[in-house]
A and B are shown apart, each in its own frame.
Chain A
């Protein structure tokens, strides 16, 4: 009864609050994701600071899973004034969003001196055809996390520098019976798998497209898929990886059921948090390895930016909010789950404190961030690759057959 009363009272106040702001001031509708990178708590706390500094502007936050983000942005494009004012978007969408006019061109809003102060990889996130459609916010890539205790128990002193080294270390760990499946990945039929595939393709110096034609049937991209399948065949990769997303990877690794895992920045803090992890304190991070003669490290550009949908009636307020969230001071204060876009941040004591290893890995990884195909039909290309690579991982088709089928299907895109 008591809780019920509170609930009624609470919703009454909430209605009152909404009604009063709607009448007098601006309310921004902002769309974020609840998955990897900044936590909901972080974003709420940043937003509270923005609201305190900007009386008269309220921000309504909405959090959706990454898988729903793209479609939410599209669906709201037809909502007129009731759509979003600020949206979080992925590095793979600006081409599509720009050609369809979903996002406002904000090139002129961005101060000129920012260009040199922010990493190039971050800019790729918001650029298409020489224009900028937002501010980069989450500068993210997949790192190699390893359980130092397991490596030590297997007599390994250094984390792997190459993927082949990683495989031989994994075998050593498996053979000693330390863990049944030393490797865990996010290889469900999803974008998460494409990120791992891209990392491996980058390591093998591969390409997705050459002169507009699919080039993933040979070279580094093909080697990447063959590598993925081989680790499954050798019993090194946890077979359930084929239905895992990033959060599953974090859980399995944090339970001490894997020695190596590829995951985003956010896992560093969480896998070392005793409340979230059984292996806290044993988790180390390094750049994803390279391939002999081809690369020294590998990395996928998994960055995300903040933009203003074309139908937002509050572009100025929205830009003020975006500027606030993406400024260096704020990013430096919240650098545990997502690293700043600003070059200067990487020598700030408050950013480095307690995560020196992550920062040193980040410096190497950010320098080699590899983009997924920058084509307007990316979503469809990715779906096709997901299906065909998944068939390989499930043992339904061979590597070459699957990639040829994918290439044929990509050519059929309208």
Chain B
């Protein structure tokens, strides 16, 4: 009896939250999934809508351009999130040391993350400018290049250049979360290990890293979701060019909706992008579970 009342209470208390969640997430999501099975078009005139089953998905997945875009997006995600993780943790370890000016540096390091994506993208586009960009000027003056070159106009380098801009903007988030976690690592553990003769690298891998793995996992999952649906930074920096070499999967969602006005087909691309992010997140979780299990054993 007592249990049932508690269940009822639980649902009453949860109801407002579920309602809000339904309004802003579940209903639009259900609507998008429904759209993805239709041939809906954006139009000011009434146009009949037909249920067309998997046709949109088949069209998208058999399009070699979209397949290439998926691989490109995966590359972007792995490289940029990977670099952000490594750089973020390294910076966090540095900022966790005692040194003069640490507080100032800790405040400064968050700045790139505070810059709006669009501003960041425009700034990097100027840095990479083929004629008067700062990067060319720097590399030329220190003698690494003998001629000014095009960075985001060259399909060989464009994607990596966009990744660099994205890493610069987003590594502080990882650094901050890692730093917060590092401050909870008990100093005794490290001291004891040092007494036992464990070197700094060994202590970092066996004590520090497992200790901060949980929070780190959260921020890496967040960044992975964001990275996989990347659009804004690429749109501003290269518009998907040159010759589609930076065109990520989200471009197809945008393009189908706003350029070609096929909202049904656009929804199917959106569902695909969201579905793949979900798979990536699941992979993370199972990896972290295994790690926790390993640590416990």
Contact = CB atoms under 8 A, between A and B. Distances in A.
Interface of A: 67, 70-71, 74-75, 77-78, 96, 100-102, 188-190, 239-240, 242-243, 252, 310-311, 377, 379-380, 383, 387, 390-391, 394, 396, 409, 414
Contact of B153 (A74, A243, A383): A243
A377 B130 contact: no
Classify chain B: how many residues form its interface, as a range. 20 to 34
Interface stretch (B38-46, B95-103, B181-189): B38-46
B260 A377 contact: yes
B106 interface: no
Interface string B150-189: 1011110000000000000000000000000000000000
The 4 closest A-B pairs by CB, nearest first: A243-B153, A189-B241, A101-B45, A101-B44
A189 B44 contact: no
Nearest to B59: A414
Contacts of A100: 41-45, 261
B5 to A, nearest CB: 47
Interface string B42-77: 111100000000000001000001000000000000
A243 B155 contact: no
B255 interface: yes
A396 B244 CA distance: 12
Given A74-B258, A243-B130, A380-B259, A310 B239 contact: no
Q: Which of B42, B65, B150, B261 has the most CB of A within 10 A?
A: B261
Contacts of A380: 259-260
A71 B42 contact: no
A101 B43 contact: yes
B155 A396 contact: yes
Contacts of A71: 258-259
Interface in B6-50: 41-45
Nearest to B131: A240
Contact of A75 (B45, B154, B258): B258
Contacts of B262: 414
Contacts of A242: 150, 153, 242
A243 B259 contact: no
Nearest to B43: A100
Given A77-B44, A101-B43, A390-B243, A379 B150 contact: no
Given A101-B43, A311-B44, A383-B259, A189 B150 contact: no
Interface string B241-277: 1111000000000010011111001000000000000
Given A100-B44, A101-B44, A390 B241 contact: yes
B112 interface: no
Given A74-B261, A188-B241, A240 B130 contact: yes
